[in-house]
Amino acid sequence: MLPLLRASPFPKPLLRRPNCRTFSYHPSSSQKKTVGGITTPDSNLRSRRSPRGGGPSSNRVTPQQCRTSPSRMTGRMRNPESDAEGHPFDICRNETVGPVTSKKSLLELNREKRNEIERSQNHPQHAYLRSGMILLKNYISHRDQVKIVEKCRDLGINSGGFYRPGYKDGAKLRLYMMCLGKNWDPESRLYEDYRQIDGAKAPEIPEFFRKLVDRAIRASHDFLRQDYKDVNIEDEVPNMSPDICIVNFYNNSGKLGLHQDRDESKKSLHKGLPVISFSLGDSAEFLYGVERDADNAEKVVLESGDVLMFGGISRLIYHGVSCIHPNTAPKRLIEETKLRPGRLNLTFRQY
Ligand SMILES: O=C(O)CCC(=O)C(=O)O
């Protein structure tokens, strides 16, 4: 995942918003094959470096390689994105963030609960985007969104927290990243216990996040059972238990080029275990398609509280974020969490 976004402008602006442009990467020169309708640059799901990271065929690694020791670490290194005191990037404005202070009446709490139950039962906007790709609209309740932001903020300012990933040539991705469970290294495309940048260990995935993932999978099954009686639910969204979560924070100029998530184990990919993505804060234009071709990609706007999953035959779908829509985050969420302008995205995977 996470190929580097080229800084140069792209020829055909496809999208309506002025700050949204089409974007794509040069497909590698290697032979293309098709897996589940999705074009892959090679046949055996191997990983390779990004087009900017050192050429298509050199330095190949297998996805199963998973570093367990800080091989290149010599003592404690510093996260170069940290502030003067050595804290990593803070996704929230530097004001006191804590539990919501306003006291709510029992009546309000009950109303919120009722609304949440209604929302989970009525889902006129949930969408079956393509086989294996389900969008649960407005699925995460406001309360849970606040909890997720607060948790990511707490984890993100500590060891193993947010940093700006980059490549050997010094170019950086247009986002901040933190990994939970295992670190994913954009340069080697390996999952590892200790990250190369500063030797930090990935924080654990909070139990609360796992429970939400579990609930979302069940909600997607309920949705399919109700509205898509002909599909095989287990083929569409196989059950999974996440041991990796990649948390991205995009500021208003953040984006992420079209790519496949294929650095998880062969077994996980072949089973089509889904990637489950939570969106919070500002909305994003999310592109997806069977080829790495932004001009012909499908587009969907992901808003705060949306859950997107792609598994089954869509597990290797090309996807990316073409732009962020500024000032679209729910006001309440910003007021209560002090989340900076931008978008927080969590993608859960099972290695
Ligand atoms: O931000 C998103 O919605 C997508 C994130 C993503 O594609 C990734 O982390 O691989």
Q: Which domains does the chain have, with CATH numbers?
A: 33-67+123-349 (2.60.120.590)
Q: What is the DSSP letter of 194?
A: B
Residue of higher predicted confidence among 262 and 73? 262
Q: What is the mean pLDDT of residues 179-202?
A: 94
The SS3 assignment for 309 reads strand
pLDDT tens digit sequence for 198-242: 999 999 999 999 999 999 999 999 999 999 999 999 999 999 999
Q: Which residue has the tokens 């489950």?
A: 276
123 in a labelled binding site:
no
Residue 259 to residue 146: CA distance in whole angstroms? 29
Query: Does the beta carbon of 261 sit less than 6 angstroms from any atom of ligand 1?
Result: yes
Q: What is the mean pLDDT of residues 271-285?
A: 98
The closest-lying atom of ligand 1 relative to the alpha carbon of residue 319 is 7
Token reading at 234: 């287990």
2 lines ligand 1 (CB under 6 A): yes
Give me the mean pLDDT over the 38-58 stretch. 39
Residues 296, 288 contacting (CB under 8 angstroms): no
Of 264, 180, 272, 274, whose CA–CA distance to 218 is shortest? 274
Mean pLDDT of the chain: 81
In the reported structure, the alpha carbon of residue 30 is separated from the centroid of ligand 1 by a whole-number distance in angstroms of 24
Residue 286 Cβ < 6 Å to ligand 1: yes
Q: Tell me the per-residue pLDDT of 295-306, one tens digit each, with 9 for 90 and over.
A: 999 999 999 999
Q: Rounded to whole angstroms, how far apart are CA atoms 25 and 84?
A: 35
CA of 234 to the centre of ligand 1 (A): 23
pTM score, whole prediction? 0.79
Half-sphere exposure of 300 (CA within 13 A, CB side): 21
Residue closest via CA to ligand 1's atom 10 equals 1
Q: Does pLDDT of 149 surpass 50?
A: yes
Give the atom of ligand 1 at the shortest distance from the alpha carbon of 284.
Answer: 3
- d(CA 258, CA 251) in angstroms, rounded, equals 18
